[in-house]
Structure 1
């Protein structure tokens, strides 16, 4: 059994962070002596418990802790060091954090038989080496300065779906209440009646799901969480008659920017896609006798999903029958545990008002003698730590219940009217009930890519996949073993019933893997209703200095750019951009790639001065060659996900990265293969569909055919309407291969431009007349008639036309859209009207840069302000601070 040693409590003061001794052997005594010396040194610098530390002090100390890693140090201080509500810092470096966590986990452990000692807990946490609580738990455990939840994610909704304005607005309010406590939220929209349905109010008919998507998205953007936005997942069943409108909603520039969206697709729909047979949509979606039904073309809807995912990486897809069929909590669906949606990154499917907390195990640290011929995975240590991590997960639920009680107490004392406070209070009471009944946990992994590389296995190869599956199977068996052991010691989760679960595929898989474990579970029950996940670990991987989650390494070597003043001493300006700004490019090496280099005789300081070609030669000799996120074959990635999913009772957050020239047919094959392989969900990212800022060291030649300089006679056109200085403006953007090619914009005049506001697409046709070239806009109205607006180039202020030709010429010659926006925004003109035009062009083109970000070299993370955004693990993530739109 884990942690049976008798604990002798030397001190109960959390702030003093005393070490708990298990016995007085020389090793423990020496460790205590060293710990006391460290504490005295820190106390002499500044009294932690009274005065706190400055940001600069904490960063400097943390840089030493991370062995000079400035990025990890600043991220830790900014996001995870203990602070009060005023930003006062109470921890000098991560060793203080890990003492705090170990103390709190042991406090809960001491309530139960066979507690794990504080020192043993600290050893698994120290240096972010083995066990890493993620996000909210890391900041909130033992933090009495702030009233916040320890849960990473929630799903909300109505047990009996409410399709009234009151029910819909209640969800909006609950979403905001959770986000202000730092939780990521998901909810399903399948209960909202489709557009055009009759309603018993003055509106007469329903507006459908899309306006409420916008409402929920806007609410998310309004909620600040310690300087970051909230995170939201919106889902809908493919069976819903408004599913197609939901799929298209985010394609309109500037809309639904505060939410991830996923479509829940059942097996019947997928079979209809394969066979070409019609598919029945209905409302309510689960009704035996629906009020409304329509026969839909499954392939048409499927093609729309594929096109949008190809173009913008959304929507994601959830294979909902697989989710429900495999879900252990759904064995208790009639007791309120019917899964309805997922958290923002899709790795935790949940029932209404359930929540989950996340802890990751660092797989790289279990490789003994990494990057050598003698490298070996330490399974005994991995099993031991998995069981400790699972106990910590269960302890974390007790801590969360304490936090919920504190939140409820605070709400009760708030000086507001009772009916105002009731919504939040009742919300947390429902969440507390689910956490108490099910005790759900989210134990996962990180550093999969580095673990495989350290063992000399190429990510995506059959042997690497087989080994990854074996590791995940071991994790599942040992986590469930720990949960069964805790059930014997602490009691099973209150609604456990072995008869309900006996036919569940996941439970049957466990039985096949370990019959003794299964029989023990039949006898004692299980402490937790569901245990496992694989979540994004963006910030976590910065501090573990490893690859993220289940993903391969993004790049072993890449370049970053920073703006410099060329007149400064010791400044190296690598290049000057089109608007005259100077930039320096510098190499960034993946931490474990550096470890590989050192293990193989390379001097990393010297390598940093090598040419691109020399560095590429070194990469090709490493286990990271052909094993990065853009290298791994999509078939291998999807099949690996499906095989690992068999040993994850929740789900997996993962992205299938595809090259820029990937066709829509290939995206369709990815999704189809994911369904066939048993994945619960899938997200794709086609290189270039969302712009990043990391620069590959491999040069890529531009194809002449990418952007034709000679204008085609007919171009697709997207119509964008917006406010510019309180004036109504319209832009006609000619598009070639999904990128802007030309633009006409100005103030709208409905008497001149009699174009219905519902029109957002059409064609721009170039013609010749006696005055030269003319550009007509052609569109099809809602009655199916083709309409033409003649001479777009002459409809706006004449001054605009010359500048429009200039910007269109830049676009046609292939300048990246972010750089065009930079160019336009840098113009300083004397004419007030032209400056208004400049703002209009910038606003219109801005919508073609994902998430409203700036030019490539200046693209800023909303949280830390750095220009380090990449797309991975289902999220647009910052490699500088680890933040993402998924939370």
Structure 2
């Protein structure tokens, strides 16, 4: 769409004030503030200026139904707009996920409606040119709202010879950091991009890859996963030497390295125990089961996954996600008469797969608009060729394979509503059979579309005849298999199970395949202690009185009502009374932190047999779990047929990690030697990041000197005097210039013409009082105080001057931006009063109730 046409479209639509949209959205969700805020911020129709054109999700659902119906009209036996609206309204049955909700029918922005991509070079081009090409491609994709995966197994290992002035290769880790930094720089409507970096365990640099994130401040913009081979797992579990090769799995490697497999496996397990990363991908299982890899020689060789691991992809391929809300198919939930409506479920799965195929056509339209925009951009061809060629290849892959990502959400609530406890044999049996049914109906739908619309262009039944996934369909449903062989499929791969984090907030259910996170938690409200029947549970430091009250998981409230409880009476109960009610419910021993992890992993393995892509799942473990048990989780997942798994030990991301290589175990009785904290010497020039922000309605700027990926010094204040620095300047250097009796700090950056520009005297450009405090803050940074403690230190400064308090707030905001994601705060959440607050992209976010506060 041209800019002029977009403006005309915008003029026809009614704009809504943000406060009106938020109120209407909260009313729509029956008072659920979090759901209202998430929908408004992420999915309501908006233009590039943030103007809102939808007031409630119902308007969004009409937009989506209208666009789906427009595509349906191109094909035989089209589904009507009303039929589509009826299954997507109220988030009840079929829910487009993320990018499709935000992007379908949005003509204001040039964005993709694909949720995820994987990039890679045509050949294993281990050159700076090939690596920089990938760097640009991931940025170009992320600016269109997509998550990206990239595999680094093609990179030459450290120490191997190269034909340039370096003589030997630097290895994988510097390029991990490069891609990570690029990801952190890209804005996606107020959020950062998402990146997955993977490597084959057989690569000689795999050990360095595994350890890369244990260094504070390193690779903070990416998830990392190791592709584990069956041979390596066998060697790791039995012990013995193992040979790593480059190129990986080559019959004639140019570089080899012999290692102790058990030791490297121990590092994987230890780092996962300590920090929840790396995740593991059981690569031989994944490739063996992959239907697209039957077409590997035609460009569909799987190389990596999307950032959450549920979509394995070949280079330049993409996928779109849609979820079926399983809870809505339970009739008479939480009663003795509870039944699953299989007939309606079967019908909706067939329709959902049809809508998934329509999404591909909608995406191709978006890609064409992006391609036309790039062609008409004023940049020269040699500047924009990489971006243009990327989207042309994406378009080709999308057409050739017509890949879809149909999945589910609310598995945990569905099981509870049926009276089945998550993490039991009964639950695993039920889920196994249900997902097999979903698989059969989705593949039936794809086969029907192959008749009506044509099979995906490279379909060849002969190529797939020995694929284990297809052979299971043959054994389970011979008639369906014969139909697939005769008529073909519309889509090369169909199914996945994604995390559905935001979607589950809108469906007000458990997410994806996961159990309920928590059934009940406490919040506080301020009260007048003199009111009749007032109950004072807490008095704060200023003397205000507060009453605590429980907040329940949405579907647990449904359980309470079904069992005849009075909700208001239950809310007045103490925690012991509430716990006794939970103990009688199907949610007992079935939440994230207390579910039987062995049964959960077994469930994943059984469901995986019916999912041709993969499953995003996290095994939550208590804080006191041993490393040995983490290793058993991984081993059980491998033995159960899982394609990948991630663990999270409670509290394992509570602080900054230090390198684990050769470190001593902590001794609680050891005397601390404060003399150990020597500040690293300041180099003459420091890399610097520029942060611009609003502070007390004023425009502020900060120059943050960085050493080894960590803030070393900070200069900040009002932007006055720095307006000559272009807004796109985000990096540069801070240079210390010494004279006989003093020194100053200059900021240097490269302008668009490639010339170096110097801004003299940072230390003299801000208020003198700021500079004195800034020296103190920089001092504690240089001596290694953890960033979370720096935030607390600055925030606790008791300054009487309003100007200094404004400066203090500015420094706090800047430092928070560098606190690693996942770092826990010691503060309670102001909404739910749980100590479940952690940093995420510079914002404090509650993992319990979702409350988020930036700045």
Report the TM-score range of the alignment, normalised by the length of the smaller protein: 0.7 to 0.9
1:248 to 208, 211, 217: 211
Instruction: Report what 2:263 is aligned to.
Output: 300
Instruction: Report what 1:88 is aligned to.
Output: 51
Instruction: Report what 1:530 is aligned to.
Output: 493
For the residues of structure 2 that align with 1:865 and 1:823, how far apart are their CA atoms? 18
For the residues of structure 1 that align with 2:543 and 2:193, how far apart are their CA atoms? 36
For the residues of structure 1 that align with 2:29 and 2:486, how far apart are their CA atoms? 46
Cα separation, partners in 2 of 1:48 and 1:625, compared to 1, 3 Å = farther
Instruction: Report what 1:212 is aligned to.
Output: 175
Instruction: Report what 2:604 is aligned to.
Output: 641
> How much does 1:108 deviate?
0.7
Instruction: Report what 1:444 is aligned to.
Output: 407
- Match of 1:684, SS state, is strand
Instruction: Report what 1:29 is aligned to.
Output: none
Structure 1 unmatched ranges of 5 or more: 1-46, 693-705, 733-798, 831-835, 871-877
Instruction: Report what 2:274 is aligned to.
Output: 311
Instruction: Report what 2:87 is aligned to.
Output: 124
Maintained 8 Å contact 2:820/2:839: no
- Match of 1:155, SS state, is strand
- Match of 1:295, SS state, is strand
For the residues of structure 2 that align with 1:257 and 1:568, how far apart are their CA atoms? 51
CA deviation profile, 1:134-154 (whole Å, cap 9, x unmatched): 000001111111111010000
Which structure 2 residues correspond to residues 717-736 of structure 1 after superposition, within 5 A?
A: none
Q: Normalized against structure 2, the TM-score is what?
A: 0.80
- Match of 2:117, SS state, is strand
Maintained 8 Å contact 1:312/1:689: yes
1:139 to 97, 102, 117: 102
Instruction: Report what 2:651 is aligned to.
Output: 688
Cα separation, partners in 2 of 1:417 and 1:535, compared to 1, 3 Å = same
1:261 to 194, 216, 224: 224
Cα separation, partners in 2 of 1:318 and 1:220, compared to 1, 3 Å = same
Instruction: Report what 2:470 is aligned to.
Output: 507
- Match of 1:224, SS state, is coil
For the residues of structure 1 that align with 2:395 and 2:817, how far apart are their CA atoms? 43
- 2:297 pairs with 1:362: no
For the residues of structure 2 that align with 1:234 and 1:583, how far apart are their CA atoms? 47
- 2:796 pairs with 1:826: yes
Instruction: Report what 1:187 is aligned to.
Output: 150
- 2:122 pairs with 1:159: yes
For the residues of structure 2 that align with 1:474 and 1:716, how far apart are their CA atoms? 65
CA deviation profile, 1:858-882 (whole Å, cap 9, x unmatched): 7466579563136xxxxxxx83489
Maintained 8 Å contact 2:332/2:339: yes
> How much does 1:319 deviate?
0.3
1:273 to 216, 236, 239: 236
Two-structure CA RMSD over aligned residues (Å): 3.8
Cα separation, partners in 2 of 1:515 and 1:383, compared to 1, 3 Å = same
Instruction: Report what 1:343 is aligned to.
Output: 306
- Match of 2:792, SS state, is helix
Instruction: Report what 2:565 is aligned to.
Output: 602
Maintained 8 Å contact 1:817/1:855: no
Cα separation, partners in 2 of 1:84 and 1:510, compared to 1, 3 Å = same
Maintained 8 Å contact 2:216/2:709: no
- Match of 1:296, SS state, is strand
CA deviation profile, 1:717-752 (whole Å, cap 9, x unmatched): 9999697997898999xxxxxxxxxxxxxxxxxxxx
Which structure 2 residues correspond to residues 442-591 of structure 1 after superposition, within 5 A?
A: 442-559=405-522, 574=538, 576=540, 587-591=550-554
> How much does 1:688 deviate?
1.2
For the residues of structure 1 that align with 2:125 and 2:115, how far apart are their CA atoms? 26
Cα separation, partners in 2 of 1:174 and 1:602, compared to 1, 3 Å = same
Cα separation, partners in 2 of 1:414 and 1:719, compared to 1, 3 Å = farther
2:845 to 850, 864, 867: 867
CA deviation profile, 1:439-487 (whole Å, cap 9, x unmatched): 0000000000000000000001101110011111010000000000000
Cα separation, partners in 2 of 1:538 and 1:716, compared to 1, 3 Å = farther
- Match of 2:214, SS state, is coil
Maintained 8 Å contact 1:354/1:435: yes
For the residues of structure 2 that align with 1:224 and 1:352, how far apart are their CA atoms? 23
> How much does 1:69 deviate?
1.5
Q: Which moved more, 1:240-249 or 1:568-577?
A: 568-577
For the residues of structure 1 that align with 2:678 and 2:261, how far apart are their CA atoms? 28
Q: Normalized against structure 1, the TM-score is what?
A: 0.77
> How much does 1:618 deviate?
1.6
Maintained 8 Å contact 1:52/1:90: yes
Which structure 2 residues correspond to residues 8-19 of structure 1 after superposition, within 5 A?
A: none
Maintained 8 Å contact 1:375/1:455: yes
For the residues of structure 2 that align with 1:450 and 1:882, how far apart are their CA atoms? 29
Cα separation, partners in 2 of 1:464 and 1:104, compared to 1, 3 Å = same
CA deviation profile, 1:608-643 (whole Å, cap 9, x unmatched): 232121221121121101000111111101111000
Cα separation, partners in 2 of 1:311 and 1:278, compared to 1, 3 Å = same
Structure 2 unmatched ranges of 5 or more: 1-9, 656-664, 687-702, 711-774, 801-806, 830-836
Which structure 2 residues correspond to residues 630-709 of structure 1 after superposition, within 5 A?
A: 630-691=593-654
CA deviation profile, 1:72-107 (whole Å, cap 9, x unmatched): 112111111111111111112111111111111111
Instruction: Report what 1:330 is aligned to.
Output: 293
CA deviation profile, 1:776-804 (whole Å, cap 9, x unmatched): xxxxxxxxxxxxxxxxxxxxxxx99xx99
- Match of 2:828, SS state, is helix
For the residues of structure 2 that align with 1:572 and 1:49, how far apart are their CA atoms? 53
For the residues of structure 1 that align with 2:600 and 2:593, how far apart are their CA atoms? 11
Which structure 2 residues correspond to residues 389-404 of structure 1 after superposition, within 5 A?
A: 389-404=352-367
Cα separation, partners in 2 of 1:727 and 1:643, compared to 1, 3 Å = closer
Cα separation, partners in 2 of 1:502 and 1:726, compared to 1, 3 Å = closer
For the residues of structure 2 that align with 1:582 and 1:151, how far apart are their CA atoms? 49
2:828 to 847, 857, 871: 857
* Number of aligned positions between the proteins: 735
Maintained 8 Å contact 2:527/2:547: no
Maintained 8 Å contact 2:822/2:838: no
Maintained 8 Å contact 1:721/1:730: no
Cα separation, partners in 2 of 1:328 and 1:857, compared to 1, 3 Å = same
> How much does 1:821 deviate?
5.5
For the residues of structure 2 that align with 1:81 and 1:642, how far apart are their CA atoms? 37
Maintained 8 Å contact 2:816/2:842: no
Maintained 8 Å contact 1:282/1:294: yes
For the residues of structure 1 that align with 2:262 and 2:239, how far apart are their CA atoms? 7
- Match of 1:593, SS state, is helix
For the residues of structure 2 that align with 1:827 and 1:86, how far apart are their CA atoms? 37
- 2:20 pairs with 1:57: yes
Maintained 8 Å contact 1:861/1:869: no
Cα separation, partners in 2 of 1:719 and 1:148, compared to 1, 3 Å = farther
Cα separation, partners in 2 of 1:125 and 1:845, compared to 1, 3 Å = closer
1:321 to 254, 263, 284: 284
For the residues of structure 1 that align with 2:436 and 2:17, how far apart are their CA atoms? 45
Cα separation, partners in 2 of 1:409 and 1:534, compared to 1, 3 Å = same
Instruction: Report what 1:238 is aligned to.
Output: 201
- Match of 2:37, SS state, is helix
Maintained 8 Å contact 1:355/1:435: yes
Cα separation, partners in 2 of 1:480 and 1:855, compared to 1, 3 Å = same
- 2:396 pairs with 1:433: yes
- 2:74 pairs with 1:111: yes
For the residues of structure 2 that align with 1:294 and 1:251, how far apart are their CA atoms? 23
CA deviation profile, 1:280-328 (whole Å, cap 9, x unmatched): 1011113211110011100010000111000000000000000100000
